[in-house]
Structure 1
Amino acid sequence: MKILVVDDHPLVRKGVSSTLSFEEETEKIFEASNIQEAISLINSEKPELIIVDLYLGNEDGLEIVRRAKSKNSNAKFMVLTSSLKKEDFLRSEEVGVDGYILKEAFAEDILYAVRVVLRGKKFIDPEILKHQSSHSQKNNRLSELTPRENDVLVALGKGLSNQEIAEELFISEHTVKKHISNILSKLELSHRTQAALLVNEASNLYRECV
């Protein structure tokens, strides 16, 4: 089996190559640092597995996947990255990668992912799933808030004081305090700063998805 490792950091390439050398079926491991080198090796050596980093300096590693697939390459593709960003994971899914694993993974986990992908199955790093799940759980808890609690939460996200929230929503400070208490309880938070951070994070995630 031939494997191509594409990463713009030499030490990362050497580390991954060293890990892959323990795979019994590995015949040869090639290395590339950019798109041009990768495409050239794919055309000449026809590796069965291509492991790419998402960010190759100023280049997009997924462009390698797009180009190879456009030429009907039968190779399997794995992303090896440090990124936990939702948009990076979704971009990788869109181009049809077979695996997505973090660079922080243990060597044995990388080898396991390689074996899974080569058997024709998909592998996604459990940390990615856990990260995405945590965002979903937060959004589910947000959906439990009443419309007025949502108004107060948005005001918290703006950094308004209780008095300012009361004036903006035409309610008493006592009512504001009650809403904030309910918000913290439903969202399982301990203070208003956490609530403000949560609503701003949720807003950013929404903008990323639309």
Structure 2
Amino acid sequence: MKIVIVDDHPLVRRGLAAVISMQPNVQFAGEATNGQEALLVIEETQPDLVLIDLKLADESGLDVIKAARTRGIASKFILLTSSASREDFLKAEEVLVDGYVLKEALPEELLFAIQLVHKGRKYYDPGLMEDKMRMSGSSPTDELTPKEKEVLIELGQGACNREIAARLFISEFTVKKHVSQILAKLQVADRTQAALYANAVGLTKYEMSYD
């Protein structure tokens, strides 16, 4: 996996490069400090993934992402930011970013996000996801049945359908039905986001391997 880092702070770029180099399957492909440099480096290296700051001096990382996609660049983008504002998060969603990670996150969380996005899924900071889901003023978990809550807790622990079925003494088919209902009620795209939500609201502690 080739990764390009876009940030206007040298220490941040070096720190990120050190973190991603911890993974044997990750290659640091290049870096940039602004939008123009970023587009040149991305077009030249064709990275699998770009870690990009939301605010680049007088520019926005979102504008860089828009420009890259206009040029047909197929790289995935993870926004790195110190902003936990709902407005910035919603703007990021509008341009369909693949990941949104706060700079206060632990290195393990960033690596988790990178692996998840590389596999074709999305990663949003759990706290921001919780805030988004509470925008209506009520908790989405209020809509879940007791059994669906049990399944959600198991999802949060990283259990597969077979494991959930065995632990809750129900069939795998029933588990699939519950998972489908949970995704619909929580308004999330997949079971990983459901698991992250379970962790964010304190239902369980979510863990994921980096296989």
Whether the TM-score (by the shorter chain) exceeds 0.5 is yes
Task: Name stretches of at least 5 consecutive residues in structure 2 with no aligned partner.
Answer: 140-211
| Aligned residue runs from structure 1 range 23-102, under 5 A | 23-102=23-102
Q: How many equivalent pairs are there?
A: 140
Instruction: Tell whether the 8 Å contact from 1:54 to 1:60 is kept in structure 2 after alignment.
Output: yes
What CA distance in whole angstroms lies between the structure 2 residues aligned with 1:138 and 1:10? 42
What CA distance in whole angstroms lies between the structure 2 residues aligned with 1:8 and 1:71? 23
Deviation at 1:63, TM superposition (A): 1.2
Task: Name stretches of at least 5 consecutive residues in structure 1 with no aligned partner.
Answer: 140-210
The residue type equivalent to 1:104 in the other structure is: E
What CA distance in whole angstroms lies between the structure 2 residues aligned with 1:31 and 1:39? 10
What CA distance in whole angstroms lies between the structure 2 residues aligned with 1:38 and 1:89? 22
Equivalent position of 1:125 in the other structure: 125
| Aligned residue runs from structure 1 range 153-168, under 5 A | none
Equivalent position of 1:20 in the other structure: 20
Seen in structure 2, the aligned counterparts of structure 1 residues 29 and 18 have a Cα distance that, compared at 3 Å, is farther
Instruction: Tell whether the 8 Å contact from 1:99 to 1:113 is kept in structure 2 after alignment.
Output: yes
* Structure showing greater Rg: 1
Deviation at 1:136, TM superposition (A): 4.1
What CA distance in whole angstroms lies between the structure 2 residues aligned with 1:129 and 1:97? 14
SS at match of 2:137: helix
SS at match of 2:131: helix
Moved over 6 A (4+): none
Instruction: Tell whether the 8 Å contact from 2:82 to 2:103 is kept in structure 1 after alignment.
Output: yes
Which of the pair is proportionally richer in helix? Answer: 1
Instruction: Tell whether the 8 Å contact from 2:4 to 2:30 is kept in structure 1 after alignment.
Output: yes
Instruction: Tell whether the 8 Å contact from 2:17 to 2:28 is kept in structure 1 after alignment.
Output: no
What CA distance in whole angstroms lies between the structure 2 residues aligned with 1:81 and 1:19? 16
TM-score (norm. length: structure 1): 0.62
Instruction: Tell whether the 8 Å contact from 1:17 to 1:29 is kept in structure 2 after alignment.
Output: no
What CA distance in whole angstroms lies between the structure 2 residues aligned with 1:6 and 1:83? 16
What CA distance in whole angstroms lies between the structure 2 residues aligned with 1:116 and 1:5? 17
TM-score (norm. length: structure 2): 0.62
What CA distance in whole angstroms lies between the structure 1 residues aligned with 2:13 and 2:43? 20
The residue type equivalent to 1:24 in the other structure is: P
The residue type equivalent to 1:41 in the other structure is: V
RMSD, aligned α-carbons: 1.9
Deviation at 1:134, TM superposition (A): 5.2
